[in-house]
Amino acid sequence: MPYGAFLAAVRERGGYSADEADRVTRAVLTALGTRLTPDIAGHLADQLPEPLADMINDAEAAARDWGVRTFVAHVAEATGEDEEGAEVAARAVLSTLADRIGRGERDALLSRLPAEYAGLFGYPELAG
């Protein structure tokens, strides 16, 4: 899925303008890259087109150990949204991401995150 198509899907899912979709996509994927270990972020980035891969690859040397609420709070800070809006953004972007990557990659990614993240990726039944 090219970047423009990814943004179109985020726009539709979140009800965003083109600029808003780009802004929330950058915030969410950068936060996700920071949440993941560099090796996992790199593997995920390999599945994505530019500039999505670059956003994920902004991972730091040590992954952040954020639960969903802290993750959403970081997205809120990056986007200027309140936490409710940031959660909508996270769901729009991460569910689009889950649709973009293969099932095996998605399952591997979700297995590396606390179960509560599954709902943000569009799989609440896996949240436990």
pLDDT digits (tens, 9 = 90+) for 82-111: 999 999 999 999 999 999 998 999 999 999
Q: Dihedral of CA 32/109/119/95: which sign?
A: positive
pLDDT at 15 over 80: yes
pLDDT at 128 over 70: no
Q: What is the mean pLDDT of residues 1-18?
A: 95
- Measured distance CA(76)–CA(112) in Å, rounded: 23
pLDDT at 121 over 80: yes
Residue type, 19: D
Min mean pLDDT across 67-71, 99-103, 117-121 is at 99-103
pLDDT band with cut points at 50, 70 and 90 for residue 62: low
The pLDDT of residue 124: 86
How many Cβ atoms from other residues are within 10 Å of residue 37's Cβ? 15
pLDDT at 20 over 70: yes
Residue type, 93: V
SS3 readout for 18-38? HHHHHHHHHHHHHHHHHHCCH
Contacts 24+ apart (CB under 8 A), 59-63: 59/33, 59/34, 60/34, 62/37, 63/34, 63/35, 63/36, 63/37, 63/38
- Smallest CA-to-CA distance from 26 within 83, 80, 84 is with 80
φ/ψ of 53, rounded to 5, equals -60, -40
pTM: 0.93
Q: What is the mean pLDDT of residues 21-42?
A: 93
